[in-house]
Amino acid sequence: MPHLQIRDCPDDVYKRLLMAARREGRSVAAQALFLLEKGVGEEKSDIERRRVLMKRLRSRPIPLSLRELDAAALTREDRDA
As a whole number of angstroms, the distance between CA 42 and CA 30 comes to: 19
- Position 17 scores a pLDDT of 96
Q: Which residues have a Cβ under 8 Å from the Cβ of 27 and sit 6 or more positions away?
A: 21
Compute the residue count for the chain: 81
Q: What is the mean pLDDT of residues 54-70?
A: 78
- Whole-model pTM? 0.51
- Mean pLDDT throughout 21-32? 95
Mean confidence (pLDDT) of the chain: 86
Position 1 confidence tier, pLDDT thresholds 50, 70, 90:
confident
